[in-house]
Amino acid sequence: MADISRSFPNILITGTPGVGKSLLSRILCRKTGLTCIEVSDFAIEKGCLLEYDEVYECPILDEEKLLDEMEDLIYQGGMIVDYHGCDFFPHNWFDIVFVLRTDNTILYDRLKERGYTGRKLDDNIQCEIFQIILEQARTTFEGEIIHELASNNINQITDNVNRICRWIDQWKLDNQEE
């Protein structure tokens, strides 16, 4: 973000459904005191939904209304935003973007456990295979703020939490007012 007058950074945690975004975000919020915006829940709470998609069995996001609802929170700073898409967010909202990636076999099992079937299951696996979310991040945000993280098991999640906490500490040092 161009003019930093915030005490804490804004972080985007993104990736295909089932890669561990919500778990990572919850742990980070507990460890850092930052606030998590789980976009799907936030959109329901704020009425930022359009019609229901019967094929994917989920509501369709009203992106413009969502961005309007999130804007003041983002400008305050200290937000961890958790969502499976990223190409509609303004490029200057986040100080860093973490794209979680998971081995397709592991992801398949996770999505099956969630009850994903048919086209919804196949399309999400294809999304991961073809790195769709990573490519969205690369076309939306500056390359130096995008970081790809493996998220196959609890050890990698722990490593990711520790890495992000170190990054937050460094951000605070780099951005403290003198």
For the segment 59-109, what is each residue's pLDDT rounded down to a tens digit?
999 999 999 999 999 999 999 999 999 999 999 999 999 999 999 999 999
The pLDDT, as a whole number, for residue 134 is 98
Range of the domain at 71: 11-168
- Of 132, 35, 45, 113, the closest CA to residue 81 belongs to 35
18 is in an annotated binding site: yes
114 is in an annotated binding site: yes
158 found inside a domain: yes
Backbone angles phi, psi at 30, to 5 degrees: -65, -40
5 found inside a domain: no
Q: Is the pLDDT of residue 40 over 60?
A: yes
- Structure-token match 């937000």, residue found: 79
CATH of the domain at 118: 3.40.50.300
163 found inside a domain: yes
The pLDDT, as a whole number, for residue 56 is 83
The pLDDT, as a whole number, for residue 57 is 83
Residues 6+ apart with CB under 8 A from 134: 99, 101, 146, 148
- Of 163, 128, 139, 130, the closest CA to residue 32 belongs to 163
pLDDT one-digit tens code per residue, 16-29: 999 999 999 999 99
Nearest-angstrom CA–CA distance, 12 and 36: 10
22 is in an annotated binding site: yes
Q: Is the pLDDT of residue 2 over 60?
A: no
Q: Is the pLDDT of residue 178 over 60?
A: no
101 found inside a domain: yes
- Of 165, 171, 169, the closest CA to residue 145 belongs to 171
The pLDDT, as a whole number, for residue 5 is 75
Please, what is the end-to-end C-alpha distance for the chain in angstroms?
Answer: 19
Residues 6+ apart with CB under 8 A from 103: 152
Per the structure, how many domains does the chain have? Answer: 1
141 found inside a domain: yes
37 found inside a domain: yes
110 found inside a domain: yes
6 found inside a domain: no
Q: How confident is the model at residue 1 (pLDDT cuts 50, 70, 90)?
A: very low
